[in-house]
Structure 1
Amino acid sequence: MQLPVLNDAPASKGGCSASSCGTTDNQMDSLPDSIREKVQNHPCYSEDAHHYFARMHVAVAPACNIQCHYCNRKYDCSNESRPGVVSEVLTPDQAVKKTMAVAANIPQMTVLGIAGPGDPLANPERTFETFRRLSEEAPDIKLCVSTNGLALPDSVEELSKHNIDHVTITINCVDPEIGAKIYPWIFWNNKRIKGVKGAKILIEQQQKGLEMLIAKGILVKVNSVMIPGVNDQHLAEVSKVVKSKGAFLHNVMPLIAEAEHGTFYGVMGQRGPTPDELQDLQDACSGDMNMMRHCRQCRADAVGLLGEDRGDEFTLDKIEDMEIDYQAAMEKRKVIHQAIQAEMDSKRLEKAEKAQQHKQEPKLTTRPVLMAVATSGQGVINMHFGHAKEFLIYEASPDGVRFISHRKADQYCGGDTT
């Protein structure tokens, strides 16, 4: 029997409904045209698209207006792969030049995001000058922003002016008592506000900003960090709340808390979740909410496909020597994007046909099996295990095959890739 690839197959633990395991092929078919067009080539909003399309972040936002116990921003760090770290902070002019260089050399790059190393909306002049320039000079690139939400309500109008139709808000709780264990302080109206009072203001601003974005027709993804013993039992409630307010996608991520990163949680020995704990929580949060399971918790200056970082190819000194004809680059990008989209559409139809055939076959009762595969993109198994730095984990069952997660690995083979 040939099993169809069904990202929306039922989970073996707690159930994962047809609309809960990411923006899957079946979901894409049922989405309104306006939304499908927005997400079909966005690697963070579509599990399918992340095999084909690349993204990049520009680090123009060094300041932050809150402190998280899991965060320690670093501005000249090249050896850590996590949010909040960058190799170099850019000016808006440098960010625009770098973006156009990357787009010309990595034509499958479709999305430019500002995600730090601080909070973009705590650096409004730098953030919006970058967006303004890019919307004029590189109109074929989607623009995104990721924020903690504290300054979001005051920024929604400006975001909409720059045709930003994807916003990510990090919401770790909707209970101020829990929030006080995650956020020691916020900076609000020129004052540092601590504890429950500060957490309450942050939560109110996040929810208000979410509602305002939805009213503007902007797609919202919510990120939540799973912190065992702090908010792990609470995140299912967070998922219900943000869905009720119109969030499109929920991304529950594991806490990164290594002592060498210098975060409060890392130094104090707060553990992160195990892969099984994370999967159980994602399944519990799913219900009828779209769940993102392919997040790589990228650096604030990441470049390339999810799971790879080509930032070293585009440092400031290297892009200074690049001659960029962006008009020609846009024409090339258009052709490549159309070819990729045609391939994705063809595979989507093929999967739908196989799924329909599968429904007609006798139901088996074999247990689910986990499989690890290595890929360099395009949705195919095309990488030597020894060269893999991560593996994609799939679950095969009588209901089909669904994507579960990714697992990082140390590359142990230094030979040729052929």
Structure 2
Amino acid sequence: MSCSCTSSSTQENIQQEVMDKINNHPCYSEGAHQHYARIHVAVAPACNIQCNYCNRKFDCSNESRPGVTSSKLQPIEAVKKVLYVGGEIQQLSVVGIAGPGDALANPKKTFETFKMLQEKAPDLKLCLSTNGLRLPEFIDEIEKYNVDHVTVTINTVDPTGEVGAQIYPWIHWNHKKVFGAEGAKILLEQQLKGIQMLTERGILVKANSVLIPGVNEADLPNVAKKLKEMNVFLHNIMPLLSKPEFGTYYGLNGQRSASDQEVMAAQEACGMDMKLMSHCRQCRADAVGLIGEDRGDEFTKEAFVDMSWDELESKYDIKAREQKHQVIENWRAALEVANEKVKIEQASKEQLSSNGETKLIAVTSAGEGTVNLHFGNATEFLIYEAGDKAIKFVMHRKVENAYCKGPEDCDGSYPIEEIKETLKDCDILLTEKIGGCPMDELKEINLICDDSYAFKPIEKSVHDAAKKYFFEKENELG
């Protein structure tokens, strides 16, 4: 007699296989993103849909958002760049094609790049990002070239196409433009079909959704439900970035960006159904380095394009990279012990706190899982939610300018108002070091600043600080 139930040992094997796939993938694993680096190679300039939030810009070094790149690459240039960067940044673990258009609207360049990467850098994970319009068409190629992580941007599952029509003015389908709701319905049909085909073949899918205030926020919980039904691995809810200077339709027509608080509300609404990605940085199409940093300017074509394959393979040095990754894993294992397993992913308030009360705690970090960045140098803050029982990571929040611009750019001004606005709902700031002046400014928003946890593990520090300032006092009073 056969049984349709999957045995516990089989489930454990599947789970372990997935964990192995994401262990050193900084986008798919929140635990990996402070330790491993990624590179995006801009070999895919063309796109087959128009999004109201997108403006593909070239030679633009001062913007960090999808669709932006400083230079386009041919496949051979891209692979040379990967080898060069992989030698310089040995913690590089992932190479992705994320534009600046759509990876599958440029299939020849995309798969030519992946073919060479398989040969020249077999230790790297291969990823692509797509709007999904041509996804069903290229499932076999994705599998053939061992691309086992695919990101699909899906902003609505509204079957009428009316919500989609507010996001996508047109798509290019069957050699013609299809406008409005009709185009949106075709796009959704292809997205769902392609995602189903990917998950059936065991390819991990991350779904990106852009939160567009007044347009699709009410539909995002429906997106999450549908993604769960289709066994999508991870759902990433990203805020709309909509400034006039970005040159997008939304930016030029007054559509406001999504706030941090709106993203948190959307995460809460969707997190009951889907595992959420909370550490996304909305990377450029030519991003290089750890998530949250961009070292692309260090690696221009002149540095690598004339090097021979022998020179590049020597520089890449797979054995040295393996040793570096082992050092990272040893450090991560030590951190896990030091953090005392106080973090829970996708936790409810009841799991975090015995009385349902939690606090938001901001942290400055340069990576490697410790509180190791001076407040004056921080352009982003890691946000955790903490209770007396446990903590969870919520999101990162960026600011355009660090408090201290450094001696070269110092003009005597110290931009604190944007930071105060960014951290206005937080209760504690943990940082490597902070001066008296910014500390006094941050007291105006009732933010407790503490630099006594410098160079200590983030997760345990967050939990300890929450107990120190809030929960232990409450227990004493009780």
Same fold (TM over 0.5): yes
Q: Is the 8 A contact 1:100 1:326 kept in 2?
A: no
1:383 pairs, out of 357, 361, 373, with 373
Aligned to 2:287: 302
Distance in 2 separating the partners of 1:150 and 1:353: 41
The letter of the residue matching 1:319 is F
2:330 pairs, out of 342, 351, 357, with 342
The equivalences for 1:37-76 within 5 A come to 37-76=20-59
1:95 and 2:86 correspond: no
Deviations 1:372-410 (A, max 9, x none): 111111110001110111111112212312111111121
Please identify the structure whose Cα radius of gyration is greater. 2
Distance in 2 separating the partners of 1:315 and 1:405: 31
1:144 and 2:134 correspond: no
1:260 pairs, out of 238, 241, 245, with 245
The letter of the residue matching 2:196 is E
Distance in 2 separating the partners of 1:62 and 1:355: 40
Distance in 2 separating the partners of 1:123 and 1:220: 20
Give the superposition deviation at 1:343: 2.3
Larger mean Cα displacement after TM superposition, 392-401 or 214-223: 392-401
Q: Percent identity?
A: 54
The letter of the residue matching 1:200 is K
Distance in 2 separating the partners of 1:295 and 1:108: 18
The letter of the residue matching 1:191 is K
Structure 1: unaligned runs, 5 residues or longer? 1-28, 357-362
TM-score by length of 1: 0.88
1:85 pairs, out of 68, 81, 89, with 68
1:399 and 2:389 correspond: yes
The equivalences for 1:228-239 within 5 A come to 228-239=213-224
Structure 2: unaligned runs, 5 residues or longer? 1-11, 345-352, 409-431, 434-478
Distance in 2 separating the partners of 1:31 and 1:374: 36
Q: Is the 8 A contact 2:224 2:273 kept in 1?
A: no
The letter of the residue matching 1:197 is E
Aligned to 1:157: 140
Aligned to 1:5: none
The count of corresponding residues between Structure 1 and Structure 2 is 384
The letter of the residue matching 1:267 is L
SS of the residue 1:154 aligns to: helix
Give the superposition deviation at 1:75: 1.9
Q: Is the 8 A contact 1:61 1:117 kept in 2?
A: yes
Q: Is the 8 A contact 1:59 1:115 kept in 2?
A: yes
Q: Is the 8 A contact 2:382 2:397 kept in 1?
A: yes
SS of the residue 1:324 aligns to: helix
Greater RCO between the two (CA within 8 Å, min separation 6)? 1
Deviations 1:130-149 (A, max 9, x none): 00000111100110000000
The letter of the residue matching 1:306 is I
Q: Is the 8 A contact 1:387 1:411 kept in 2?
A: yes
Distance in 1 separating the partners of 2:172 and 2:342: 54
1:275 and 2:268 correspond: no
Give the superposition deviation at 1:364: 5.3
What RMSD over aligned residues (CA atoms) do the two structures have, in Å? 2.1
